[in-house]
A and B are shown apart, each in its own frame.
Chain A
Amino acid sequence: VKSALPALLLGLFVAAPAQAAAPADPQDGLAWLKQMASASRRLNYTGTFVYRNNRQSETSRIAHFVNAAGGEFERLETLDGPLREVIRTNDQVTCYLPGSRTIIIEQRSPRRFPALLPEQLTGVADSYAVHVQGRDRVAGFECQIVVLEPRDKLRYGHQFCAEVKSGLPLRARSLDEKKAPLESFAFTQLAIGGKFSRDLVRSRYAAKTRNWKVDRSALPVAETPADTGWMLVGNLPGFKKLTELKRSIAGRAVSVAHIVFSDGLAAVSVFIEPLPSARVVPQLSHQGAVNIYTRPVADHMVTVLGEAPAATVMQIANSLEFRGATASAAR
């Protein structure tokens, strides 16, 4: 009802992104959000960050480089606990787990690595009150605090701190409804800039993986847009369907239906697969700010997960209905 004006303003904003906005203007917050997404793809940087949730704290090293042709390379390596490495080469993400001698490959093609699109930003403004809120210092850099307050209980709050010159996000926090932190990512050491270095983003394990188990999480051939026949009944304000496809999941023999809903910032994935032979009882679990709910629906197992409150994830899981025969025909 009252979304007409912000939408109009946003239209203007998208048309003229460089326009400087007055403090506390919500467009200012959205501009920062856009700037963060752009900086984290465009910039060369190396650093150490700490991931923290209410059960654990983990330190990782990260390096991101863009070559002359615009190719993106990124490497993440955990410094605590078991060795784990995640390598991104443009749209392919590969995960090396030396402990279990496993490689998990996820190729995102023809779809790009997620970008923050203007239409997503509209969704963000509808679902969150976005505002800039003072400055802070993270890893020695001055940064701008950007707060996203959820307009309802279907989503978590977020707080970012973006480096003032480049816009690179130095800290990201998810907050529950009492504004208590659920999860945070924060650089403790960071160097922005520097020349492209293939060595810093090359896997340390790729050469030694001859006998490792390879799990292809999603092959380009398997990841095809499809009408899975599953629908969400009822209303879930702010969440729109981003994509719907049939894919493979690492460790699963059969193809799995995957539907993604997003409010522009948080995403919730729905995975639907045939009921396994083991009995499936409804179960709620979590990993940091990601809530996961599994339940049997008819002769299928439904797994819903995302960085949204448990109630939202469960609501989605409980509102799924099989409507179409297309999925069974395609199976």
Chain B
Amino acid sequence: MDKISALMDGELDARQAEQQVGRLRHDTEARACWDTFHLIGDALRGECRFSAQFGARLYARLEQEPTVLAPRRRTPAGRATAYALSAAASVAAVALVGWVALQNAPVPPAQIAAAPAPVPVSVPVTPPPVEPVSVPSEGTMNQYIFAHQGFSPSTAIQGLAPYIRSVSAEQTTKVRE
């Protein structure tokens, strides 16, 4: 338990840190300690935003998410962890905290579960546009407009004037607003 505390405080060397991180992966008790210490730390610093069971519930949720849990999104964090572990212990601790933070912050679990494994979750999903973008016809449709005009009741009301549409637009590119 003091080892966990030491890990948090960055007092372990690289090998020890690696050991403790490995322990954290398998030992639920150690993990509970890690959580509690962090909660205490947060509370002391006045940053306590989560309930005491938050960690437990979070891990329970994560437990239910099988391998999908490891989508690409986490690769950078994982890499960071590996790097940190091979370096100074303090850095390892920071990376781990970062890793935990990553669990908390970005993606709602439901979304992780829904995402197919090979798809990078971080790609922003833009909703498809309701209508395709309309471009000025630039005179390419004049023949059709000309053929259409003769059937339009607007021609009945306004006479020849609407035919301007079918001879128009040839030079509109130069008259842009």
Report if A283 contacts B (CB, 8 A). Answer: yes
Report if A287 contacts B (CB, 8 A). Answer: yes
Report if A175 contacts B (CB, 8 A). Answer: no
Complex Cα–Cα for A284 and B167 (A): 19
Contacts of A74 in B (CB 8 A): 159-160
B150 with A108: CB separation less than 8 A: yes
Complex Cα–Cα for A41 and B157 (A): 9
Secondary structure type dominating chain A contacts? strand
Closest to A243 in B: B151
Complex Cα–Cα for A291 and B135 (A): 10
Within 8 A of B (CB), among A258-306: 258, 260, 262, 264-267, 269, 271, 282-288, 290-292, 303, 305-306
Contacts of A93 in B (CB 8 A): 146, 149-150, 160, 163
Closest to A96 in B: B167
B156-171 interface bits toward A, Cβ cutoff 8 Å, 1 = contact, 0 = none: 1111111111111111
Contacts of A113 in B (CB 8 A): 150, 155-156
Within 8 A of A (CB), among B111-138: 131-138
B146 with A286: CB separation less than 8 A: no
Complex Cα–Cα for A248 and B160 (A): 21
- The number of chain B residues with a CB under 8 A from chain A is 43
Complex Cα–Cα for A95 and B165 (A): 12
Chain A contact residues, CB within 8 Å of chain B: 33, 36-37, 40-41, 49, 51, 54-58, 60, 62, 64, 74-76, 78, 81-82, 84, 86, 88, 93, 95, 97, 99, 104, 106, 108, 113-116, 120, 160, 169, 172, 185, 215, 217-218, 242-243, 247, 249-252, 258, 260, 262, 264-267, 269, 271, 282-288, 290-292, 303, 305-307, 310-311, 314
Can you name 23 A-B residue pairings with CB atoms under 8 Å? A40-B157, A41-B159, A55-B177, A56-B175, A78-B164, A81-B175, A84-B167, A88-B160, A104-B143, A106-B146, A106-B150, A113-B150, A116-B153, A116-B157, A120-B153, A249-B144, A260-B148, A260-B151, A284-B135, A287-B165, A292-B141, A303-B144, A310-B131
Chain B contact residues, CB within 8 Å of chain A: 131-138, 140-141, 143-172, 175-177
